[in-house]
Amino acid sequence: FAVRAVVQNFRVEGSSMEPSLSGQEYLLVNKALYFRVNLDSIGKFVPFVPDDDGRERHLFRAPRRGDVIVFKYPGDTSRDFIKRVIAVPGETVEVKDGTVFINGAPLKEDYILATPNYTYGPKTVPEGAHFVLGDNRRNSFDSHAWSAGCNQQQECDFVPEENIIGQAWLRYWPFDALGLIDNNEVKPQAP
């Protein structure tokens, strides 16, 4: 039970994360990395924890740009998806001319299969949400495409933080592909 609380297995389906991940690969997902805690609750039992007005904080760290995450698809939470975090809360994301821009600065993305052939935004990621894209930009059902079926009152193109299951951590099958997943932080280039 304790192991299942912090690690989960996941099977990649489809080609949306190629070349980084291929269909039918099996991964371990680190669920503990993004654990959230309410410091007020802990402060009742541990005297040196400060009062925090009931807000939750990440125990280790928040998802960051470049993390490959597994999450419940916002349009149908019975389905789990895997994508890469491209923009975090407060950042403005735009896709144009085959390049992703964060706050007006282009991202250098060595891990993608092909540049995007669509436009998106500019849109600012709301608090408590993340913007995600597949590494196979021309063949991925991700944040750039989800808003098409939305009404104006919804923010469908972002993944709410409560939908995030964890970070893809280790590929264990097929055995010849055994290894850690590339979760290096991606920074925008100087404009």
In the chain, count H helices and then E strands: 3, 14
DSSP 23: T
pLDDT of residue 126: 95
pLDDT of residue 58: 74
Instruction: Give the pLDDT confidence of 73-106 residue by residue, as tens digits.
Output: 998 899 999 999 999 999 999 999 999 999 999 9
Q: Which residue has the higher pLDDT, 165 or 37?
A: 165
Segment 13-31 shows an average pLDDT of 95
pLDDT of residue 26: 96
pLDDT of residue 143: 93
Q: How confident is the model at residue 113 (pLDDT cuts 50, 70, 90)?
A: confident
Whether residue 16 lies in the annotated active site = yes
Segment 53-76 shows an average pLDDT of 87
Mean pLDDT, the chain, rounded, equals: 88
Tokens of 10: 């996941």
Percentage of the chain exceeding pLDDT 90:
69
Q: Which of 20, 31, 83, 143 is catalytic?
A: 83
pLDDT of residue 14: 94
Q: How far apart are CA 12 and CA 61, in angstroms?
A: 24
Q: Which residue has the higher pLDDT, 165 or 59?
A: 165
pLDDT of residue 190: 78
Q: How far apart are CA 48 and CA 34, in angstroms?
A: 23
Whether residue 83 lies in the annotated active site = yes
Q: Which of 16, 20, 140, 143 is catalytic?
A: 16
- Which residue in 58, 60, 40 sits closest to 49, CA to CA? 40
Q: Which residues contact 132 (CB under 8 A, 6 or more apart)?
A: 69, 71, 83, 84, 85, 86, 142, 143, 159
Predicted structure pTM score: 0.87
pLDDT of residue 155: 67
What strand order describes the sheet that includes 120-124? 105-106, 99-102, 92-96, 120-124
Instruction: Give the pLDDT confidence of 126-177 residue by residue, as tens digits.
Output: 999 999 999 999 999 999 998 765 655 456 789 999 999 999 999 999 999 9
